Amino acid sequence: MKKSIVLLLLLLPVCFSFAQMIKGTVVNDAGMKIGNVNIYIDGTKTGTVSHEDGSFMLNVSGNNLGNIIFRKENYETFATPVSEVINKTLKVVLLKSNDIEEVTIVPYTEEAYKNYINYFLDQFIGYDKQNIKIKNQRSLKFSFDKKNKILKVKAPKTLIIENKNLGYEIEYNLVNFSSDFNTKIVNCSGTSLFKETKNNNKTRLNRMNAYDGSLLHFFRSVYNNTVASDQFVVNHVIQVPNPKYPSEEELNTLKDYMAMVKNTVTNFPDNIRDIAARKRNESEYSLAIVKTLIPDSDYVKRNNGEVLFSFKDILQVNYKKYDYELKGKEFIKSKIPVVKTSFLHPEGETFEVSKDGNITTPDLLITEGEFTKNKIENMLPLDYQLGD
Domain boundaries, the chain: 6-94, 101-198, 199-242+284-388, 243-282
Q: What is the DSSP letter of 22?
A: E
Cα–Cα distance between 158 and 97 in angstroms, integer?
14
Residues 6+ apart with CB under 8 A from 108: 141, 142, 143, 154
| Positions of the chain with pLDDT lower than 50, given as ranges | 1-18
- pLDDT number for residue 25: 97
- pLDDT number for residue 66: 84
- pLDDT number for residue 17: 38
- pLDDT number for residue 102: 58
- pLDDT number for residue 1: 35
- pLDDT number for residue 261: 84
Task: Answer yes or no: CATH 3.40.50.2000 is held by domain 6-94.
Answer: no
Cα–Cα distance between 80 and 155 in angstroms, integer?
21
- pLDDT number for residue 363: 84
- pLDDT number for residue 75: 93
- pLDDT number for residue 369: 92
Cα–Cα distance between 331 and 212 in angstroms, integer?
13
Cα–Cα distance between 76 and 70 in angstroms, integer?
9
Residue type, 67: N
- pLDDT number for residue 285: 86
Full-model pTM: 0.84
Cα–Cα distance between 40 and 331 in angstroms, integer?
32
CB 375 within 8 A of CB 126: yes
